[in-house]
Amino acid sequence: MAEVVVAGILFVALVVYVLTGGADFGGGVWDLLATGPRAPAQRRVIARAIGPIWEANHVWLILVIVLLFVCFPSAFALVGTALHWPLTLMLVGVVLRGSAFVFRTYDSRRDSVQKRWSRVFASASVFTPVMLGISVGAVASGAIRTEGGVYTSGFFAPWLQPFPIAVGLFTLALFALLAAVYLAADTEEPELQDDFRLRALGASAVVFVLAWVTFFTAHTGAPHLRASLVGGPIALGMQGVVGLCGLALVGSLWARRFQVARILAAVQVVLLIAGWGHAQFPWILMDELTIHDAAAPQNVLVGTVGVLGAGAVPLLAAYGWMIRVFRRSRLSGAPSPESIEANPE
């Protein structure tokens, strides 16, 4: 059915956003936590990695929002109402982070100015993924409820609960893990590679702990999701593969196989999101609204699939070419704060 196809496209767009934009947010986490004599060099590597295409990565989040609005309007209305606060705060964080990154790069070189924009950039990079994870946790918890078509759960109760907050922290740790692995793989200086390698190993441990915290809080916070995650051979098999990927990732980082670690980190994240999608299907809002009930008329869905099919070719071609160009000229499109001349006062 067309709604299942659209839901699959929405899922793929979310996965791509996590692998690209999520890693950018994780870079901001390590910008905040940069320490030691190589802290300026660490921030320079982060700025170079983020700089060229980081704004373009938001196209996948925009696609998720547009598809939800056009193809599942009732779900969009419920999510927008129930999660008005965390989604608004997430939007504010996206804007603050982007503005601070640009101002830090092109504003005055004075230490006070640079520190101010660095604090805003790093703080927003930490805050925004937490709000995204809290929103996802609230959607998966089954706490968003209606009676007679009227929303009844309040503006705070669905997301100010242990399970959504645990998902928010887990999301932040996952983004930080992706960023550390990517940065270790992209850095050629051995000392900086070791810095990001140690951060990636630490982030792996935090992800492991928070995964179990999230699982335990789901016992009361998202019981149906939790039951689906362990309720069948497919679900259990996916959990086992995720665990094996995590162990292999740690082993590759320990052995300094950074390109292998990059692939394993991406696969682990894809499998984690796939496990969530499998456990929640066919609910778009757990225990409240399925993708079939929330779907727009078939002509809208079919038309959307056709437009997406036609538009995917130029979009993916342009996106892939952009990545290739900036990977071949690593510094030309991403001037770091340390490499730009001071602006006239």
184-236 per-position pLDDT tens digit: 998 888 899 999 999 999 999 999 999 999 999 999 999 999 988 887 788 78
Distance (Å, whole) CA 186 – CA 13: 24
pLDDT beyond 60 at 330: no
Placement of tokens 């002509």 in the chain: 299
CA torsion 31-35-37-39 (nearest 10°) is: 0
pLDDT beyond 70 at 147: yes
Q: Tell me the mean pLDDT in the region 59-88.
A: 92
Q: Tell me the mean pLDDT in the region 251-265.
A: 94
Q: Tell me the mean pLDDT in the region 261-276.
A: 93
Report pTM: 0.90
pLDDT beyond 50 at 139: yes
Residue-wise pLDDT tens digits, 57-66: 888 889 999 9
pLDDT beyond 80 at 53: no
How many percent of the chain have pLDDT more than 90? 56
Q: Tell me the mean pLDDT in the region 140-168.
A: 90
Least confident of 16-25, 51-60, 184-193, 264-273: 51-60
Q: Tell me the mean pLDDT in the region 139-146.
A: 91
Q: Residue ranges of the domains in the chain? A: 2-339
Q: What's phi and psi for 279, nearest 5 deg?
A: -70, -30
Which pLDDT score, from 0 to 100, does residue 116 have? 85
Its CATH class, for the domain covering 2-339, is mainly alpha
Tell me the range of 170-174, 275-279, 306-310 where mean pLDDT is highest: 170-174
pLDDT beyond 60 at 335: no
Least confident of 79-83, 95-99, 121-125, 330-334: 330-334
Which pLDDT score, from 0 to 100, does residue 332 have? 44
- Whether residue 178 contacts residue 22, with contact meaning beta carbons closer than 8 Å, is answered with yes
Which pLDDT score, from 0 to 100, does residue 327 have? 66
pLDDT band per the 50, 70, 90 thresholds, residue 47: confident
Q: How would you class 13 by CB atoms within 10 Å of its CB: exposed for 0-12, middle for 13-18, buried for 19 or more? A: buried
CA torsion 268-271-275-281 (nearest 10°) is: 150
pLDDT beyond 90 at 292: yes
SS (H, E, C) the chain: CHHHHHHHHHHHHHHHHHHHHHHHHHHHHHHHCCCCCCHHHHHHHHHHHHCCCCCCCHHHHHHHHHHHHHHCHHHHHHHHHHCHHHHHHHHHHHHHHHHHHHHHHHCCCCHHHHHHHHHHHHHHHHHHHHHHHHHHHHHHHCCCCEECCEECCCCCCCCCCHHHHHHHHHHHHHHHHHHHHHHHHHCCCHHHHHHHHHHHHHHHHHHHHHHHHHHHHHHHHCHHHHHHHCCCHHHHHHHHHHHHHHHHHHHHHHCCCHHHHHHHHHHHHHHHHHHHHHHHCCEEECCCEEHHHHCCCHHHHHHHHHHHHHHHHHHHHHHHHHHHHHHHCCCCCCCCHHHCCCCCC
